[in-house]
Every structure is written in structure tokens, then in C-alpha cells.
Amino acid sequence: MQKLSRGDLMSLEQYAESRARMRAEVIAHKQLRNVQIGPNMTWCFEDRTTVRYQIQEMLRVERIFESDGIQGELDAYNPLIPDGSNWKVTLLLEYPDPEQRRLTLGRLIGVEDRCWIRVSEMDRVFAVADEDLERENDDKTSAVHFLRFELSSTMRAAMKSGASLSMGVDHENYRHAVSPVPGLVRDALCLDLS
């Protein structure tokens, strides 16, 4: 999947005029790209559309209009766009109560390394997590992680031929799976594979 360039972005003025429409489109788009894994974890499968929206929002919020600042946002977010052989995921751990969140994140150290996908009956593929920087310490993990699932050519071909897809987490304090992933979500994710 092609990375974004400055020419793919709207000016702040253009985005202000299009923001409501673009936001509605991205929310609808994400419905087929977000997967709830158990009660407290969501995987947001990123692509050009989701990343473009995120960059536009950052430029808007931070009032960035200079070339260097725009390029900085592109450099920060482009790595989240899949490369054709993988899926890129923003993992969110969601615990509304601050005290529960603090305690639970302490019990979930390493959870990002125990996330997996499985195409049909093939071997599980475990995530490569947080390639940009470490997001946990000795006391707790972060509520946000960035994952990459690398698929073999055999797995990609099977996905394009309609193979089932499962995904989940196998951590001692969080074991949940979605099997099979709903067909519409599976089909949307298949579009990321070239």
C-alpha cells in the first residue's frame, strides 16, 4: 500500500470545510477494520484512509501548516500503513476506571507480544510490537501499542481465496479470541494484502 505524501493531504482550510464529511466516512470505514478482542481490547487495523485522517486531525489540532511540520507528521504516521505483506494494528486497552486501569496494566506486561492472527489452520503469527519505541516498563504496560502481523505468501494467497481468519491474545491474564473473524471484516482486511 502506497505511503502518503504531502500531495495526499488537504490544507487546513480545505480540511476544515471537509472535516465533518471525512469524519463520517472514516467512522464508517473503521467499523469494518476494528475488532474487539475480549471485553477490554480493540484492534484498529490501519490503512491509508485511517492514517490520512489521523494526520489531518493532528495538523488541525496543532495548527501545522509549514512544510517541515507536515513532513514530520507524515514521517511519524506513514509506518502505520500496511506494506502489502502485513497488517498494522493500533491496540487499545480500554478500562474506564482509572484505578482499575492502573492495576490491570500492571498485570498485562507483555500482552502486546502475545497477540496473534491465524489464517485457516496454518500456524499462528504473533505480533511484532512497538517497533518505534518501548511502551512498557517494570511496573506496567501501556494502554496503546502498535503491532505488525507479517503474513507469508501462502497465507496471503489463502486469504485472497477465502480462507478463514482468527485472531486473539494468549497472555496469562488476558486470553480471548475471535474465531472466525466476521466475513465483512475479513474481506476488508484482505484488501491490505498484495
Domains: count for the chain: 2
Do both 87 and 152 map to the same domain? Answer: yes
Do both 60 and 101 map to the same domain? Answer: no
Do both 73 and 8 map to the same domain? Answer: yes
Residue 161 φ then ψ, to 5°: -95, 5
Do both 138 and 163 map to the same domain? Answer: yes
Question: Which CATH number does the domain housing residue 139 bear?
Answer: 2.60.40
pTM of the shown model: 0.92
Q: Is the separation of the CB atoms in 109 and 78 below 8 Å?
A: no
Per-residue confidence of the chain (194 residues) as pLDDT tens digits?
799 999 999 999 999 999 999 999 999 999 999 999 999 999 999 999 999 999 999 999 999 889 999 999 999 999 999 999 999 999 999 999 999 999 999 999 999 999 999 999 999 999 999 877 677 788 899 999 999 999 999 999 999 999 999 999 999 999 999 999 999 999 999 999 98
Q: Is the separation of the CB atoms in 126 and 116 below 8 Å?
A: yes
> Domain containing 59: what range?
1-31+48-81
Closest CA to 82 of 28, 25, 128, 119: 128
Do both 89 and 175 map to the same domain? Answer: yes
In the sheet that holds 128-129, the strands lie side by side as 34-36, 41-45, 86-93, 144-150, 128-129
Do both 76 and 133 map to the same domain? Answer: no
Do both 93 and 23 map to the same domain? Answer: no
Provide the pLDDT for residue 136: 77
Do both 146 and 94 map to the same domain? Answer: yes
Do both 70 and 123 map to the same domain? Answer: no
Do both 182 and 87 map to the same domain? Answer: yes
Do both 116 and 147 map to the same domain? Answer: yes
Do both 70 and 129 map to the same domain? Answer: no
